[in-house]
Amino acid sequence: MAVRSTEEVLEALREALVGAGIVLPSLAVDPVTAAGDEPFPLVSLGRCNVRTAERLASVLRGERPAVGAHVVDVRDGRIGEVMGHLAGRVQLRPVGGGREWDCPPDATGPAPRAEVLRARVRRINGEGRLPPQ
């Protein structure tokens, strides 16, 4: 078995994380161990916010769809963000805010990015409105 270079392994890890919807901005080779005689330098996963950590944990547990993903409830076309998994159901919250609902995992599909963006813009625009006088 051929040993891949540190850079190849790091890039493969980065691609796998991105494929799972996770970005670790500080992902890098540890400069101290890379500069020494260590044949296998350490990879620094770096720091991330709580949302990214929650999503990473969800992916590692094998939850599908992962926490933080945007999906369509194919039963009625609603778009929601995955908030968690409970008793074999996916807990979804509308992208624009509102009451959560439960959905069977097999009744979810990928949400079109344009629809997610549209819902986010509607929410932000709604937050920016002044109350009626």
**Domain range list for the chain:** 1-48, 64-133
DSSP per-residue codes, 10-27: HHHHHHHHHHTT---TT-
Q: What angle do CA 70, 76, 99 make, to 5 degrees?
A: 60
pTM for the whole thing? 0.71
Residue 37 has a pLDDT of 75
* pLDDT tens figures, 67-115: 999 999 999 999 999 999 999 999 999 998 899 999 999 999 999 999 9
- Confirm or reject CATH 1.20.810.10 for domain 64-133, answering yes or no: no
Q: Phi and psi of 102, rounded to 5°? A: -100, 150
Provide the pLDDT for residue 50. 92
Per-residue pLDDT tens digits for 23-50: 999 999 988 887 777 778 889 999 999 9
Q: Is 88 left (phi over 0), alpha (psi -120 to 50) or beta?
A: left
